[in-house]
């Protein structure tokens, strides 16, 4: 029996770019996008019925699970779809994994016309393969494409092609707890030109990588550098989109934080030092109110913050628990959930007063990443964690979320790729 969820309310728009926020996508998760460049006539959609499959002649051995490192091993096949301004999307093709042939003048190399997504496929012991809320990834990918003038596409059609790729590579999905198949769709501009303009050619590619638990030896809280020397995003910019340039510009600040003895950056914004994101993850803070109620807070989607699928899922679960529509084992019933601005001075004062319960990041790779220390203005602020590295809010939410992702807890968030128990 499915557990119902409390619907997320759509936050009030503060910027034009606020329209990217995910809660609005929950009401219409299968909304389609017109294939093409904005302002141009509609062109051919991706057509799954035209999918061509060429199998590799040299299949690889699945690496031992003990040696798996995130994003280092790839399956035998990939999915590619070419696009042109003249013809729209061409026939999709699954072919052996291998190098792409691109001219050195391809626009992606010069102007960062590149975006990507990340999601996972799970396979239980009965062989059932599922994805977790992939329609939100497709919608976000289309919003990112529109933002950097790359072609949009029919998300349902791409998902159908991805299903065929995942079925072909299903033996690469480990049937063990904590393991999954990471799915990386990428869209790049391939026009051969060093003039700045929307590209007239593009390519969509999907690759797969088997991955193990992000914390194989238990949760390890991370220490953050409250970063005031650099910014991740600005109002009206591209922080709310999953484009490659957002990640490249964060590498130098991460090295800077490491030299100071911290694992990642806590991105702060403005003279008030508003909290935004943790490295490449969304951020949650849990405060204790005077009456004992827990307030779970995450910064609002103001156009600078990526609308994460895991973020949206944590919010939905917490709100449903708070409203009583579901009950999450181990999570206090006196709970309020807010999307509001939080500053580092507020966090520091809450720690000093004993009112800060915990802080954690959320994202596809780690799901939940606890925080135990923040270096801020020359001082280390110690964040509470419990003996297992987690806290009283993140732990039950993580268990509930993983249960829904893997199918242990039945949920309408589960997208079935293949189910051996269902006869064709």
CA angle 242, 244, 249 (to 5 degrees): 110
The SS3 call for residue 231 is coil
Dihedral of the alpha carbons of 23, 364, 347, 261, in degrees to the nearest 10: -160
Tokens 């181990």 map to which residue? 330
Tell me what pLDDT residue 100 has: 97
Residues of the chain with pLDDT under 50: 1-36, 41
Assigned token pair, 195: 């003039």
The SS3 call for residue 371 is strand
Q: What is the residue extent of each domain of the chain?
A: 31-211, 222-406
Widest CA span in the chain: 66
Tell me what pLDDT residue 399 has: 97
Instruction: Give how far Cα 314 sits from Cα of 158, 320, 344, Å.
Output: 26, 10, 22
Tell me what pLDDT residue 75 has: 98
Beta bridge partners of 370: 360
Tell me what pLDDT residue 34 has: 46
CB atoms within 10 A of CB 46: 24
Tell me what pLDDT residue 194 has: 94
Q: Give the torsion sign (CA, 148, 151, 153, 159).
A: negative
Q: Give the torsion sign (CA, 101, 103, 109, 113).
A: negative
The CATH classification of domain 222-406, taken from the options 1.20.120.1200, 3.50.30.30, 3.40.630.30, 3.20.10.10: 3.20.10.10
- Do 373 and 258 contact (CB within 8 A), yes or no? no
Helices (H) and strands (E) in the chain, counts: 9, 19
Chain length of the chain: 424
- Do 40 and 150 contact (CB within 8 A), yes or no? no
Tell me what pLDDT residue 214 has: 82
Tell me what pLDDT residue 42 has: 55
CB atoms within 10 A of CB 305: 25
Euclidean distance between CA atoms 228 and 372, whole angstroms: 19
Assigned token pair, 229: 């020397």
Read off the pTM.
0.90
Domain 31-211: assigned CATH number: 3.30.470.10
């Amino acid at each position: 029996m499915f557990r119902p969820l409390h619907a997320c309310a759509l936050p009030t728009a503060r910027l034009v770019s606020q329209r990217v926020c995910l809660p609005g996508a929950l009401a219409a998760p299968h909304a389609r996008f017109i294939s093409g460049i904005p302002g141009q006539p509609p062109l051919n959609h991706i057509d799954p019925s035209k999918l061509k499959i060429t199998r590799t002649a040299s299949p690889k051995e699945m690496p031992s699970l003990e040696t798996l490192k995130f994003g280092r091993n790839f399956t035998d096949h990939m999915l590619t779809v070419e696009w042109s301004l003249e013809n729209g999307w061409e026939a999709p093709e699954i072919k052996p994994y291998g190098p792409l042939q691109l001219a050195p003048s391809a626009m992606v190399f010069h102007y960062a016309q590149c975006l990507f997504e990340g999601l996972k496929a799970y396979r239980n012991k009965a062989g059932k393969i599922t994805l977790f809320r992939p329609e939100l990834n497709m919608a976000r990918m289309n919003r990112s494409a529109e933002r950097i003038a790359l072609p949009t596409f029919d998300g349902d059609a791409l998902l159908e092609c991805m299903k065929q790729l995942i079925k072909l590579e299903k033996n690469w999905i480990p049937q063990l707890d904590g393991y999954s198949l990471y799915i990386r769709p990428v869209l790049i501009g391939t026009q051969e030109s060093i003039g700045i303009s929307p590209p007239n050619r593009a390519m969509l590619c999907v690759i797969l990588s088997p991955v193990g638990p992000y914390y194989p030896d238990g949760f390890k809280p991370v220490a953050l550098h409250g970063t005031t020397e650099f910014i991740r995003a600005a109002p009206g910019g591209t922080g709310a989109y999953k484009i490659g340039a957002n990640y490249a510009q964060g590498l130098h600040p991460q090295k800077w934080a490491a030299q100071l003895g911290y694992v990642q950056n806590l991105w702060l914004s403005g003279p008030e030092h508003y909290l935004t994101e943790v490295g490449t993850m969304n951020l949650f803070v849990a405060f204790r109110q005077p009456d004992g109620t827990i307030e779970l807070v995450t910064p609002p989607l103001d156009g600078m913050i990526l609308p994460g699928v895991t973020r949206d899922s944590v919010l939905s679960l917490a709100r449903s628990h708070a409203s009583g529509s579901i009950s999450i084992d181990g999570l206090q019933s006196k709970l309020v959930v807010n999307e509001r601005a939080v500053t580092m001075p507020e966090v520091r004062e809450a720690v000093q007063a004993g009112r800060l319960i915990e802080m954690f990041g959320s994202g596809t790779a780690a799901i939940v990443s606890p925080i135990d220390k923040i270096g801020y203005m020359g001082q280390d602020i110690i964040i509470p964690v419990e003996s297992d590295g987690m806290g009283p809010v993140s732990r039950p939410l993580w268990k509930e979320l993983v249960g829904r992702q893997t199918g242990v807890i039945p949920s309408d968030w589960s997208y079935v790729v293949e189910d051996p128990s269902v006869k064709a």
